[in-house]
Structure 1
Amino acid sequence: MSLRQFSKIINNNLFKNTKRKLIIDPNKLISCDRSTTYNYEGHGKTTATFIDEEFSKFLMVDSVNEFGFSFANGPFASGPIILFPSFIFQWKVKTIDDITPESLILFQMIEPRIELLILGIGHTKYWSAKSLNNLQKTLKQLTNLKIEIMPTRDAVTTYNFMLSDYRLIGGAFLPLPKEIDMKLIDSNKF
């Protein structure tokens, strides 16, 4: 079989539907020349959505430290925050002892109702057992909210994961205490 016959077979069979031309010149390398037409040009063309563009409209937490929270799309919020997919609010609490049903009233009033409130309390080892028990008793009064309490690092990770799954969620986060942050850094040296 000659090179010319081989070229015709490839041109006629393999690229019939794609309307591409295979150019084979014995003196040059094989190259493929694309024309401007495509296989499928009917209704419902396939589209691609870039994930970065899709999630850029949501406020996803990028990092947390003792000063506050930085977000993947740019802003920085200092201190404790209340977070919804598109809004950030400063939260006027300093410790878990300041968390009351009144401090979480925004989550009860918002429509549509959120599926879950993720509460990041800094670091659990920082708070006394009595404070944690009081917080749990306080949160049991809020019967119309599902609340998950966890350390802030885990809480923001869970928030980001659920947000990327398009869930209706909210977050209330305390930043990490400075002493705890330093202990975590020191323990990673060894």
Structure 2
Amino acid sequence: MIAQTLRAVAQRSRSFVFPHGSCRMLHSGMAVNFSKAYDYDGKTKVTIFNTETDLGLMITGYSQYGFRLNNDMVLIGPISVFPRSVLSWNVNTFEDINEESLSLFPTLDPKIDVLIIGIGDQSPSPPLSKRIIEFMKKHKINVEVLRTEQACATFNFLNAENRMVACALIPPLHISYNENDILQTKLKQKELYETD
């Protein structure tokens, strides 16, 4: 029963549409908190981190154009996300990631523990990953180079745990859709265009 409920919540929270249906569907990086799942009254409690605004900024969705945050802000292009702020990131593709484009992260105070880099829908290439890891290792910062979808989920989870984390994200070039995504988009569009 709990597993079915979690799947239903995950499917409902997975798809988003920009206002007025002007952009493509977004997919969320969702993290679920199971702590204190049973409160002794016969009810199970689940918290979806990326809907909680008091935990800081969370990434609720992405498209080929940009990202949506849990405060309903939509950002266009590559971004750097921190627990309480967001900056534009001056890269176009994962080939543009180098020491210069990462120079902001070692200078932050307080120092971050983990930098998560989302490189779109490309698979991380070993030479790129190795170069980035060596650069950040000099500054004693752990690095994860992931596809954007996994990077969003990882950032949300670590941020909800109050870790000193930052995330640098490049929107993917391609987004794959499944039947549920299409159905959810149609339902959302119907909701948007219904009149009383």
TM norm structure 2: 0.60
Task: Please say if 1:77 is aligned against 2:70.
Answer: no
Within a 5 Å distance, the mapping from 1:103-122 to structure 2 comes to: 103-122=101-120
Identity of matched residues, %: 31
Call closer, same or farther: CA 1:63–1:147 in 2, change over 3 Å: same
Aligned to 2:92: 94
Partner deviation per Cα, 1:126-169 (whole Å, 9 max, x = no partner): x7xxxx23312321222222100111011111101111111110
Note if contact 1:84-1:171 (Cα within 8 Å) is conserved in structure 2.
yes
What SS does structure 2 have at the residue aligned with 1:137? Answer: helix
Q: CA deviation at 1:189?
A: 4.0
Note if contact 2:51-2:60 (Cα within 8 Å) is conserved in structure 1.
no
**Which of these residues, 125, 130, 146, is aligned with residue 137 of structure 1?**
130
Larger RCO, structure (CA 8 Å, separation 6 or more): 2
Call closer, same or farther: CA 1:100–1:52 in 2, change over 3 Å: closer
Task: Please say if 1:165 is aligned against 2:175.
Answer: no
**Stretches of structure 1 lacking an aligned partner (at least 5 in a row):** 1-50
What SS does structure 2 have at the residue aligned with 1:85? Answer: coil
One-letter amino acid of the structure 2 residue matched with residue 148 of structure 1: E
Call closer, same or farther: CA 1:95–1:54 in 2, change over 3 Å: closer
Aligned to 2:151: 155
What SS does structure 2 have at the residue aligned with 1:124? Answer: coil
Cα RMSD (Å) of the superposition?
2.3
Partner deviation per Cα, 1:97-131 (whole Å, 9 max, x = no partner): 10011111111000111110011011134x7xxxx
Q: CA deviation at 1:73?
A: 1.0
Aligned length: 129
Note if contact 1:61-1:160 (Cα within 8 Å) is conserved in structure 2.
yes
Within a 5 Å distance, the mapping from 1:39-78 to structure 2 comes to: 55-56=53-54, 58-78=56-76
Bigger-Rg structure (1/2): 1
TM norm structure 1: 0.62
Q: CA deviation at 1:52?
A: 9.2
- Once residues 74 and 174 of structure 1 are traced to their aligned partners in structure 2, the CA distance between those partners, rounded to angstroms, is 19
Moved over 2 A (4+): 51-57
Call closer, same or farther: CA 1:52–1:120 in 2, change over 3 Å: closer
Partner deviation per Cα, 1:5-57 (whole Å, 9 max, x = no partner): xxxxxxxxxxxxxxxxxxxxxxxxxxxxxxxxxxxxxxxxxxxxxx8997336
